[in-house]
Amino acid sequence: MRYTLQYRGEALRPAPFYVWGIVNTTPDSFYDGGCYEKTDRAVAHARLLWEQGAAVLDIGGASSRPGAEDVSSLEEWQRIAPVIAAVRQFSQPSRGADSLRTDIVPLSYGSRPLISVDTWRADVARRALESGVEIINDISAFGWEPQLLDVVAEYKPMYVLMHCKGRPQTMQNTPQYADVIAEVYAFFEEKMNILVQKGLPCENIILDFGIGFGKTLEHNLALLKNIDAFKPLGRPLLLGLSQKSMFGHLLGQDKGERSVSTQVCTALAMHGGIVHHRVHDAKHTVETLALAYALKK
């Protein structure tokens, strides 16, 4: 199935895959915390990701790594606001992405990337949407701050509905499921019904397993092996496994050694039906997906 992302006149035409580039403005994110804490560095990184083929830039101002400390909504907003403003001024990419516009990889780009904000807070989401952001990426499924549901219903953005068992501070403390596939499926179904009844169009919803969010290695692998089980929900899936600790648990790889594992798993996931891929490395992910698509086609 192919899906079109469209909101407020900004659109990406149907494509075999979309790459989401991660822009963390935090000092403590698990992989790149502190690298892009300063606005100029974050903006430069965002531009590079876009020029390398990221169709969406996912900007975050609060870490959600296991054990992460919480920050105030004001601090979160102050971190991301200048980056959002700068990205909204981006013009057509000057290099990188052009070389991928072939009949084999029919990616299409607007005048600027779509902007996603990674937040679970209602006031941060509202400010972001009023600033022109198109997507809210919510790890809490509006469960930690119920007012977020009202904001999403009012502004009707594209919305990433993610499954997370517990909060970052405790989510990896022995998570348990009787049947992880059935429980995550039921979770998505319940939350989607609430969103639609509240007024968010179903076509605005993107689903995310929440790899590593309240899940053991076995739970993560079970979800990745059973992508087809979620197709009856009729919504595209966003996969966020870039540099995740699951590769460390499975292969003994330290942080910084997981790039090849990320690419291999990304290619396999695309063959399984994953449309959206949230990653730190846009260049190699676009190349990986382009090759996987060419072989699959």
The residues that are catalytic are 244, 278
Query: Cα–Cα distance between 127 and 108 in angstroms, integer?
Result: 28
Phi, then psi, of 277 in degrees rounded to 5: -130, 115
The closest of 243, 259, 246, 275 to 56, measured between CA atoms, is 275
Q: What angle do CA 243, 50, 213 make, to 5 degrees?
A: 30
Q: What angle do CA 244, 280, 146 make, to 5 degrees?
A: 75
Beta-bridged to residue 116, according to DSSP, are: 58, 135
Which H helix or E strand runs over 288?
Answer: helix 282-296
The closest of 240, 289, 238 to 263, measured between CA atoms, is 289
**List of residues 6+ apart from 116 with CB closer than 8 A:** 20, 56, 57, 58, 59, 133, 134, 135, 136, 137, 158, 160
Could you tell me where the DSSP H helices lie in 164-257?
A: 180-198, 217-225, 245-251
Query: Cα–Cα distance between 44 and 28 in angstroms, integer?
Result: 19
Q: Output Rg (C-alpha) for the chain, integer angstroms.
A: 18
**Which two structure tokens, joined as six digits, stand for 205?**
């919803």
